[in-house]
Amino acid sequence: MLSHTRYISFELSNLCNNSRHHIRCPLHGKEVWKYPARRSTLPLALILRTLEELARFDFHGTVGYNIYNEPLIDPRLFLIIQKTHEILGPCSTYLLTNGCFLTQQLVSEAYEFGLDNLQISTYSDQEHEYCSTFTIPKGKAFLARRTTLIDLSDQFKGPYLDLHEPCHGPLGEICVCCTGHITLCCREWMRTGEYFFGNLNETPLHDILAQGKMEKTWERLSRGDRYLDICRRCETSRCFGEKK
């Protein structure tokens, strides 16, 4: 049932320290820093329950902890990384962060708790220089990448593109929102419900997959049939090692 799945990403919350200043960030308009009632956190019990289901599927791919959140804000992060390895056994844990909260001590402890791959998106030369000095344990993956803030509004409002490249997003990476919803892919940031496959607060992963909607969507997109409105505007092709 997960033969095409290489990644699962848990969005631990809808909190990001940069969203307050980045007006093009999907979280900016929700103003979660101003209105506490709008904050949302993915339940730990749901994460552990889903990891146990993945273990029954014999899943040994990559587990990540962010979509539109800053994962290091969450005090449960290192525990979740540790539990991921305890439950799944051989797998890879992946962390993408803006690096604002990182110190050498935290980097070392993250790897000690089982982190396999740390990637930092830095938004200034000073931050990039600082993050590039971290000492990384032998055999562990690390990348500090100088980047810029991006505008994802075209994902919903931009022109249709005449692209027919295969995309394996829906099953190649299972995206779990902080509300528990499984959504189409990491670029589906409006969360209107149009591209939801189910909610893990209400329905186990096995049952959501058994409904067949995710697989049928994957089958069409993997053939290059970009029939969904959001996919017709998207220039990205996510293959996860699958043949194009």
CA distance 154 to 131: 31
Q: Where are the beta strands (DSSP E) in the chain?
A: 7-10, 62-64, 92-97, 117-122, 141-146, 173-176, 181-183, 196-199
Q: What is the pLDDT of residue 123?
A: 84
Q: Which of 143, 152, 137 is nearest to 99 (CA)?
A: 143
Q: What is the pLDDT of residue 16?
A: 85
Is residue 162 within 8 A of residue 177, CB to CB? The reply is no
pLDDT of 22 over the 70 cut = no
pLDDT of 233 over the 70 cut = yes
Q: What is the pLDDT of residue 159?
A: 87
Highest mean pLDDT among 33-37, 123-127, 187-191: 123-127
pLDDT of 227 over the 60 cut = yes
Helix (H, G, I), strand (E, B) or coil at 46: helix
Q: What is the pLDDT of residue 157?
A: 78
CA distance 152 to 227: 20
pLDDT band per the 50, 70, 90 thresholds, residue 162: confident
Q: What is the pLDDT of residue 95?
A: 97
Which tops the pLDDT comparison, 39 or 76? 76
Q: What is the pLDDT of residue 54?
A: 97
Q: What is the pLDDT of residue 34?
A: 62
pLDDT band per the 50, 70, 90 thresholds, residue 188: confident
Rounded to a whole number, what is the distance in angstroms from the first to the last CA of the chain? 21
Exposure string over 208-237, b if 16+ CB within 10 A, otherwise e: bbeeeebeebbebbbeeebebebbebbeeb
Q: Where are the beta strands (DSSP E) in 5-138?
A: 7-10, 62-64, 92-97, 117-122
Q: What is the pLDDT of residue 36?
A: 66
CA distance 1 to 174: 12
